[in-house]
Chains A and B, each alone.
Chain A
Amino acid sequence: MNTTPQQPGAPVWHRTWHVGADIDTDALAPGAYMQHGIDTIARHCLENIMPNFAAEVRTGDVLVAGPNFGIGSSREQAASALVHLGVAAVIAPSYGGLFFRNAFNLGLLLLTCPQVDLLRDQARLRIEEPDLALVLPDGARLPCAPVPGFLLQMARAGGLLKQLKLRLAAQRG
């Protein structure tokens, strides 16, 4: 998984990590470490599934997963562990509903792509804005389901906390 230095303004190619279906929140944020801060939890993210993930993932990488990513608990550390590790987006055909809300609240972009099987052998991809299609090195384009505008804005703003801060500051004049 070599990366070439990006030119300023050049399209961003994201390295991909691949996991299967039904990745639960305990796999993303193991309960045994939930008493600790996010740096510790993130070090154990997905350790039962991809033991090298937390150590080797780099800022800007994306996670490509099977259906039902993030099922399970309400612990938002499942999403914030990925944010902490620098994951730019998750791409999966479907998500646990609670995880879906948490991810955007924490500033993590989730893309819903029914054709995720076509990404299985891809080591890198681009995310095309503004329509959120995935572009493969051979030029193939995979559409993703639309994301409501206010959620996209929240993810781009870095999450709900940052948005609330701006909103409260504006109210206080």
Chain B
Amino acid sequence: MTSSHAPPASSLAQKLIARASGRGHVTPGEIVNCRVDLAMFHDSSGPRRLKPMLEELGAEIWDKSRVVLVMDHYVPERDEESRRIVRIARDWAREQALPHVYDSQGICHVVVPQGGHIRPGMFCVGGDSHSPTGGAFGAYMFGIGSTEMLGVVVTGAIWLRVPETIAMHWSGGLRPGVCAKDMMLAMIARFGMNGADYQAVEFCGEAVRALSMQERMTLCNMSAELGAQTGLVAPDATTRDWLAQRPGAGLHPTPQDLLSDPGSADVQHDFDATTLSPQLAAPHSPARGVAIAEHADTRIDIAYIGACTGAKLDDLRFAARVLRGHKVAAGVQLMVAPASLQDRAQAESEGTMQVLLDAGASVLPSSCGACAGYGASFGESQTVISSTARNFKGRMGPASTQVFLGSAYTVAASALRGRITDPREVLA
């Protein structure tokens, strides 16, 4: 235990919040006001809602250099309504002379870190529930609604109830055909969709340290489905190497002391990555974990590799590992919507996209697409296996659409066999 003069043990989440709220130390449960380093929003949550409210208030954006706008939900435009929404975003970006705008470049949670905007130590908000993705870089980032974003955009600050820290400690190492998506589906099945009770989840242990930056993003991204306010991975050499390749590298030195103090977590859960098998969530909840073997006879119509959760460069590579030299089963549509143009370009130059195309994939725009369910969705009574984050009833298609969730490995293997398939059978 600490002596009376030693500073109390703080988790990474507490350290980030203490910094943002100008305090030496914060305690779980207390309500603090935090300065916001970065506010990110998209065409749906952003301009179309913020512009009229800002006009009603007669207020201005507190600091345009700290705002990033991404057009990803209603692009490419498909009808009059989506054209109107995207036009509002483009016109407003021009009127306001926003310095950081990514129009049709990919999905915000992937594009914003790739643009070098998220750095360790920052305190960030996003107008989207998958905003905890930024926690993969050792930043405190969480999702808020548009009216609360208005408050941030006007004042540069936001209140927060200091969360407890739940440590998800993964020892061992993942086996071939198993990835971060499987880790998340396993945790969500175990704790439920609100299991993290809006606290902070920190992913740690040797299996997490061994993950690539994009795989860490997948963990933090799906913290939303665990019901956490944020998901975090402490920055290390992997983080620094990745950031060194982004714009602005060297301008933002990583603050010291971005590690959770020993004993600072309020709860710790232990997992063994070595024994983890590919995971599957059945319709209509990400928490409905089922054994793949139970569904070995479930035929699929559509295999979908998309979204910030499941179509980053690493996910495309996982799919290509399964599909190299093969064709998808007759009657199965394999759709691939790379998460960003940058990821797509890299996948093209290294040959990954060609493997997917040769297998019969159709390539869709780099946007939220069917995952958001904002129009571009699947047909009646289709059975879908998807690398995305959510399979709520009626989200990605009519209420009759059956959506299973798995990793890009599992989606690709299922496309190959035409039924739900453990990727290890195909990779062996």
A contacts, CB < 8 Å to B: 22, 24, 26-27, 30-32, 34-36, 48, 67-68, 71-76, 79, 94, 96-98, 100-102, 105-106, 148, 150, 159-161, 164-165, 168
B residues in contact with A24, CB < 8 Å:
392
Closest to A73 in B: B129
Instruction: Please determine whether A74 and B81 come into contact, CB atoms closer than 8 angstroms.
Output: no
Output the least CB separation between A39 and chain B (Å): 14
Instruction: Please determine whether B148 and A32 come into contact, CB atoms closer than 8 angstroms.
Output: no
Q: Which 10 pairs, one residue from A and one from B, show the smallest C-beta to C-beta distance?
A: A97-B198, A76-B145, A31-B373, A102-B145, A35-B81, A68-B194, A74-B129, A74-B143, A105-B147, A26-B392
Instruction: Please determine whether A27 and B194 come into contact, CB atoms closer than 8 angstroms.
Output: no
Instruction: Please determine whether B57 and A164 come into contact, CB atoms closer than 8 angstroms.
Output: yes
Given that A35-B74, A74-B127 are known contacts, is A160 also in contact with B374, CB under 8 Å in the complex? no
Instruction: Please determine whether A74 and B372 come into contact, CB atoms closer than 8 angstroms.
Output: no
Closest to B154 in A: A164
Instruction: Please determine whether B285 and A22 come into contact, CB atoms closer than 8 angstroms.
Output: yes
Instruction: Please determine whether B392 and A27 come into contact, CB atoms closer than 8 angstroms.
Output: yes
B residues in contact with A75, CB < 8 Å:
44-45, 145
A residues in contact with B294, CB < 8 Å:
none
B residues in contact with A26, CB < 8 Å:
373, 390, 392-395
Instruction: Please determine whether A106 and B147 come into contact, CB atoms closer than 8 angstroms.
Output: yes
Instruction: Please determine whether A160 and B144 come into contact, CB atoms closer than 8 angstroms.
Output: no
B59 at the interface (CB under 8 A from A): yes
A residues in contact with B131, CB < 8 Å:
74
B residues in contact with A150, CB < 8 Å:
31, 159
B contacts, CB < 8 Å to A: 31, 44-45, 53, 56-59, 74, 81-82, 85, 126-129, 131, 142-148, 150-151, 154, 159, 192-194, 197-198, 227, 229, 285, 372-375, 377, 390, 392-395, 399
Output the least CB separation between B393 and chain A (Å): 6
Instruction: Please determine whether A148 and B144 come into contact, CB atoms closer than 8 angstroms.
Output: no
Instruction: Please determine whether A160 and B57 come into contact, CB atoms closer than 8 angstroms.
Output: no
Q: A30-B394, A94-B197 are in contact. List 14 more A-B contacts (CB 8 A).
A: A26-B394, A36-B81, A48-B393, A48-B399, A71-B193, A74-B126, A74-B145, A75-B45, A101-B145, A150-B31, A150-B159, A161-B147, A165-B57, A168-B57
* Whole-angstrom CA separation of A164 from B147 in the bound complex: 10
Instruction: Please determine whether A160 and B45 come into contact, CB atoms closer than 8 angstroms.
Output: no
7 chain-A/chain-B pairs, Cβ below 8 angstroms: A26-B392, A31-B375, A48-B394, A97-B197, A97-B198, A102-B147, A102-B148
Output the least CB separation between B145 and chain A (Å): 3
Instruction: Please determine whether A97 and B395 come into contact, CB atoms closer than 8 angstroms.
Output: no
Instruction: Give chain B's interface secondary structure class.
Output: loop
Given that A74-B145, A98-B144, A161-B150 are known contacts, is A35 also in contact with B45, CB under 8 Å in the complex? no
A residues in contact with B127, CB < 8 Å:
74
Instruction: Please determine whether A32 and B377 come into contact, CB atoms closer than 8 angstroms.
Output: yes
A residues in contact with B194, CB < 8 Å:
67-68, 71, 94, 96
Output the least CB separation between B96 and chain A (Å): 19
A residues in contact with B192, CB < 8 Å:
68
Given that A26-B395, A96-B227 are known contacts, is A35 also in contact with B150, CB under 8 Å in the complex? no
Instruction: Please determine whether A105 and B44 come into contact, CB atoms closer than 8 angstroms.
Output: no
Instruction: Please determine whether B128 and A74 come into contact, CB atoms closer than 8 angstroms.
Output: yes
Closest to A106 in B: B147
Instruction: Please determine whether B129 and A72 come into contact, CB atoms closer than 8 angstroms.
Output: yes
B residues in contact with A22, CB < 8 Å:
193, 285
Output the least CB separation between B374 and chain A (Å): 5
Most buried by B among A24, A30, A79, A106: A24
Instruction: Please determine whether B374 and A76 come into contact, CB atoms closer than 8 angstroms.
Output: no
A residues in contact with B59, CB < 8 Å:
164, 168
* Whole-angstrom CA separation of A73 from B126 in the bound complex: 12
A residues in contact with B154, CB < 8 Å:
164, 168
* Whole-angstrom CA separation of A27 from B390 in the bound complex: 13
* Whole-angstrom CA separation of A165 from B197 in the bound complex: 32
A residues in contact with B56, CB < 8 Å:
161, 165
Output the least CB separation between B285 and chain A (Å): 7
Instruction: Please determine whether A76 and B147 come into contact, CB atoms closer than 8 angstroms.
Output: yes
* Whole-angstrom CA separation of A79 from B144 in the bound complex: 13
Given that A26-B373, A161-B56, A164-B57 are known contacts, is A72 also in contact with B147, CB under 8 Å in the complex? no
Instruction: Please determine whether B394 and A71 come into contact, CB atoms closer than 8 angstroms.
Output: no
A residues in contact with B399, CB < 8 Å:
48
B residues in contact with A164, CB < 8 Å:
57, 59, 150-151, 154
